[in-house]
Structure 1
Amino acid sequence: MIRRKVLATMLAVLGTSLSASAFAQANVTFTKPVKIVVPFAPGGTSDILARMIAPKLSLTLKQTVVVENRPGAAGNLGASIVAKSDPDGHTLLLMDLSSLAVAPHLYTTLTYNPVKDLAPVSMISFSPYLLAVNPKLGVKSVEELLAYGKKNPDKLVFAHAGVGSGNQIVGLELAKYWGIQWVTVPYKGGSAAINAVLAGEANVIVNGSTATLPYVKNGQLVALAVSGDKRFESLPNVPTYKELKLPAADSGSWQGVLVASGTPAPVVAKLNTEINAILRDPEVVSRIAAQGASPVPMTPQALAKWMQESSVNFGKVIRENNLKIE
């Protein structure tokens, strides 16, 4: 009987809490156009997802939702803009969260604090990293890439989304693990890095599958390995990092949404509810899956925990490689 009363009380409290949250969200209104800041160039993973979500978010918020690309400093320029925006939920940041986890460990000076100045809203998706090369390099496996790198020092040019980006960190891990050197060249986002490899300016890339997979499918890039714990259905012959016993086996492009700290909790909750509903929309699930990614709806609290853990892991790699940017 006592246990029943306790359980009944707990359920009543929970019900009251949920009702209060729903009531608070119901009273949230968006009074002007909403901006999604993508801190990378158009065509990359973050940009693709932002433009996929924006029209549906516009319908639920009953406001125009526009995507604004603000590339620079491995995502820190756009992140800083959102961190300094009015904390009212009308300016969102959508980006690869690895860059935010890296920034405090890599940069000696930042114009914002990723932890204190940004508030998590929701994770959007996870897309594994594809290790890919320009076909003209003439390698079709990791073993051949390694052999080429050892035979031709400094002829491998690794393109990445900017100094401090998650794919740069993974590239450093791979080179160190193999005992080879490659020239690393930063670009303003993953799409620019891909274009550099397509044009022959660089010949190796590690990048999220959402933006990279189409070029593998049409033969403009050759995929050598995919991160994550399973192979792509569309690339069944490409082995996983785990199969090849490579480091950073669980790495990838983790895309998420944040707002300026100080944004009222009901507003954050409203955005979380609407974005997560979009991520469960069968059409969106299908479109994300078609690009080799998975929707990952998440509570703000769960995202905050994920970012904290990721920051610890990236910090370790940065210290081991003695990376620092003034």
Structure 2
Amino acid sequence: MSLRLLKAAAAALALCSALAPALAQAQTFERPVRIVVPFAPGGTSDILARLISPKLSEAIGQPVVVENKPGAAGNIGADAVAKARPDGHTLLLMDIGSLAVAPSLFPDLTYDVQKDLAPVGMVMFGPYVMAVHPSVPAKNVAELVAYAKANPGKLAVANSGVGALNHITAVALARGLGIDWKNVPYKGGSAASRAVVSGESTVIINGATATLPFVTNKQLVGIAVTGDARLPALPDVETFKEAKLPLADAGTWQGLLTTGKTPPEMVARLNAELQKILAMPDIQQKIAEQGGSVRPGTPDDVKSWLATNIESWGGIVRAADIKTN
């Protein structure tokens, strides 16, 4: 080997040696990690965060704390993560459908969904369950639509907050079916579910993870589910497709994100740990028991999903002329 090649190899080796500590530091967790859930405790995002946090803590050697910051259809919590230090120690776990509708629905949004947040990975897909309070005289879609048309304005549909994806879904359904029902916002899917159980509201369209237990316990009556197939826990409840309802593929897409401009090495480390957690049989079983399915993938998968759905759901918001006020 020539002297020139030897010098070049030595320089390359020295560069790698110099970069190695920096790369390792970019992937190291130096203090406790927060998972911000921008909804109240008990909803789908909160359930998932509390499943994942102990596993992530074990993997990174630091405490992982779940912090609920509800309000403004998830935007208060999302904004807090967008403005955090970009080092991967502040995470956001939420239904990213709410992020997809936010740019069209909130003209004064205080953060840029695609620039100020860095996707880590998708966590799960959970179909929506449409259910009613037992006082509503309906056991299926046809009976619910007939009742709604005969009693315009009487049904009150609980949602996770103005601009949440289940709110947009309810508005789009009403337009598509020619019915008139009220939309009532709550601070998260758990609060919305409890409101329908108590009779304060009468209808809910919400993630199966948070809503399914109320249906199986007969506190609510299941009407229909989104997704490709009926839920094993609700074999007699028809799908949106079977009932020829619009938005048959709507549901809760739960994703994990961190602050924009977080070093790519840290995002890659977070994604790697997330994939390991989602591959654990006990995690998969718990998610399946709640009516969901694990959706592993890359940060770019979430980035592409957001780009596509910001456009498609934005079209629905504009067509329905949905306003936050």
Whether the 8 Å CA contact 1:105–1:318 is kept in 2: the answer is yes
The answer (yes or no) to whether the contact 2:158–2:193 under 8 Å persists in 1 is: yes
| Post-superposition offset of 1:110 | 1.0
1:118 match? 117
Contact persistence 2:137–2:147 (CA under 8 A): no
Superposed structure 1 runs of 4+ greater than 4 Å apart = 23-27
C-alpha change, 1:263 and 1:199, in structure 2 (3 Å) is same
Instruction: Describe the SS at the equivalent of 1:277.
Output: helix
Aligned residues with identical type, % of pairs: 55
Are residues 25 and 102 of structure 1, via their aligned partners in 2, closer, same or farther at CA, if it must alter by over 3 Å? farther
Structure 1 equivalent of residue 176 of structure 2: 177
What residue is the counterpart of 1:232 in the other structure? 231
Structure-1 residue corresponding to 2:209: 210
In 1, distance between residues paired with 2:73 and 2:200?
Answer: 19
Would you say 1:150 and 2:170 are equivalent positions?
Answer: no
Name the SS of the counterpart of 1:212 in structure 2: helix
CA distance in structure 2 between the partners assigned to 1:136 and 1:243 by the alignment: 25
Cα offset, 1:266, TM superposition: 0.5
How much has 1:322 moved relative to structure 2? Answer: 0.8
The Cα of 1:312 is off from its aligned counterpart by: 1.1
2:132 matched to which residue of 1? 133
Match of 1:249 in 2: 248
- 1:25 offset after TM fit, Å? 6.2
Distance 1:26 1:86 in 2: 16
The one-letter code sitting in structure 2 at the alignment partner of 1:267 is: M
Moved more, 126-135 or 107-116: 107-116
* 1:36 aligned residue: 35
Distance 1:192 1:111 in 2: 25
SS in 2 for 1:159: strand
Amino acid in structure 1 at the alignment position of 2:163: G
RMSD, aligned CA: 1.5
| Structure possessing the higher radius of gyration over alpha carbons | 2
Aligned-partner Cα distance in 1 for 2:56–2:46 = 15
The answer for unaligned runs of 5 or more in structure 2 is 1-18
Residue 325 of structure 1, CA deviation: 3.2
Give the drift of 1:324. Answer: 2.9
Partner Cα separation in structure 2 for residue 183 and residue 293 of structure 1: 28
What are the within-5 Å matches in structure 2 for residues 14-25 of structure 1? 24=23
Any conservation in 2 of the 1:126–1:253 contact (CA below 8 Å)? yes
Asked if the contact 2:26/2:266 (under 8 Å) is kept, the reply is: no
Contact persistence 2:125–2:292 (CA under 8 A): yes
Contact 1:131 1:207 in 2 (8 A): yes
Cα distance in 2 between the residues matched to 1:324 and 1:27: 42
**Whole-Å Cα distance in 2 between the matches of residues 304 and 25 of structure 1?**
25
Number of paired residues? Answer: 306
- Using the size of structure 1 for normalisation, the TM-score is 0.92
What is the CA distance between 1:302 and its match in structure 2?
Answer: 1.1
- In the alignment, what sits opposite 1:301? 300
> 1:286 — aligned with what?
285
Q: Quote the residue 1:104 is aligned against.
A: 103
Tell me which amino acid in the other structure corresponds to 2:231.
F
1:163 counterpart SS class: coil
**Letter of the structure 2 residue corresponding to residue 299 of structure 1:** T
Residue 245 (structure 1) shift: 1.2
Q: Which amino acid aligns with 1:152?
A: N
State the one-letter code of the partner of 1:28.
Answer: Q
**Which amino acid in 2 is paired with 1:265?**
P
Per the normalisation by structure 2, the TM-score is 0.92
Distance in 1 (CA, whole Å) between partners of 2:225 and 2:172 is: 15
Other-structure match for 1:270: 269
5+ residue gaps, structure 1, are 1-19
Whether 2:50 is the aligned partner of 1:51: answer yes
Query: Is the 1:108–1:325 contact (alpha carbons within 8 Å) kept by the matching residues of 2?
Result: no
Alignment partners' CA distance in 2, 1:115 and 1:301: 12
3-state SS of 1:144 partner: helix
In structure 2, the partner of 1:68 is: 67
Contact 2:26–2:263 (8 Å) recurs in 1: no
Equivalent AA in structure 2 for residue 223 of structure 1: G
